[in-house]
Chain A
């Protein structure tokens, strides 16, 4: 029974951070801040759900294959998300997308582009 409570707690943590990330993506004022908020979904939102699912698979279902596959999905997302987010941020800056409100410090624009 205790394990079920821990699983529920982890799922709630994941859902709360996913909600925070969604609100951030919907309401943040410029493109790069939205990217920052979307990282929230891919890290603790995903990790909370995946850890809960992992514990559930090990202690309730007693199935090693399921646990390994859940861990694989989590590892895959954790390994690939920063690379993709880096590529999008760099591409967006290179294609000329700038926030409406000018950034206070902008070393990249000063040094490399413009």
Chain B
């Protein structure tokens, strides 16, 4: 287990306090003090699970804006395309499906990048990340795909996550 670091505690505290403000939506002094105490206690205990790498990477404006661009412009387009495809399959009687589990290589190195990519893949209907494995320094995802059209490996990877991975690589190098 790694040690609790000070920047990690600060970042976790800010997040918890923002969440408290959103939930209570009142700015009386007593409520603010209570929220600060609770957030500090939570941050002290959970910061070492929450932040594993550099804490203040979001302060880099290039990464911040490419991240915003990904979640606001790139990802919703993919989401809508996959949703329409899935809805068409459902309305046409759920017959034309060809499910299977494929294994695709992933080039992202950072932990957060891999987690974000796995969540983005799971959030698009039609693909679910089932397992993450590492072999000889290369990370592989096992992905359940509703309509297997390409063989396992690079080609299936491009078809499933080509756009997503290109967008995420700008955020987490």
Give A residues with C-beta under 8 Å from B: 16-17, 20-21, 23-24, 27-30, 32-33, 35-37, 39-40, 43-44, 65, 68-69, 72, 78, 81-83, 85-86, 89-90, 93, 99, 103-109, 111-112
Contact = CB atoms under 8 A, between A and B. Distances in A.
Contact of A108 (B22, B87, B142): B142
B93 interface: yes
B58 interface: no
Interface residues of B, number: 40
Interface of B: 22-23, 25, 79-80, 83, 86-87, 89-91, 93-94, 97-103, 118-120, 122-131, 133, 142, 144, 146, 148, 151-152
A35 B119 CA distance: 15
B119 A44 contact: no
A77 B89 CA distance: 24
A35 B94 CA distance: 13
A84 B25 CA distance: 28
7 contacts: A16-B87, A40-B90, A43-B124, A69-B25, A86-B119, A103-B100, A107-B152
A86 B129 CA distance: 6
Contacts, number: 127
A contact patch SS: helix
A40 B86 contact: yes
A70 to B, nearest CB: 11
